[in-house]
Amino acid sequence: EVQLVQSGAEVKKPGESLNISCKGSGYDFPTYWIGWVRQMPGKGLEWVGIIYPGDSDTRYSPSFQGRVTISADKSVITAYLHLSSLEASDTAMYYCARQAIGDYWGQGTLVTVSS
Contacting residues toward another protein, per CB under 8 A: 35, 37, 44-47, 49-50, 59-62, 95, 97, 99-103, 105-108
- What is residue 97's three-state secondary structure? strand
Residues 92 and 47: beta-carbon distance below 8 Å: no
- As a whole number of angstroms, the distance between CA 105 and CA 112 comes to 21
The least CB distance from residue 108 to another protein, in Å, is 6
Q: Residue 78 or 99: which CB sits closer to another protein? A: 99
The least CB distance from residue 14 to another protein, in Å, is 26
The least CB distance from residue 53 to another protein, in Å, is 17
Look up residue 102 and give its amino acid.
G
Q: Residue 29 or 60: which CB sits closer to another protein? A: 60
Q: Among candidates 73, 20, 18, 75, which has minimal Cα distance to 51? A: 73
- What is residue 112's three-state secondary structure? strand
Q: Residue 11 or 45: which CB sits closer to another protein? A: 45
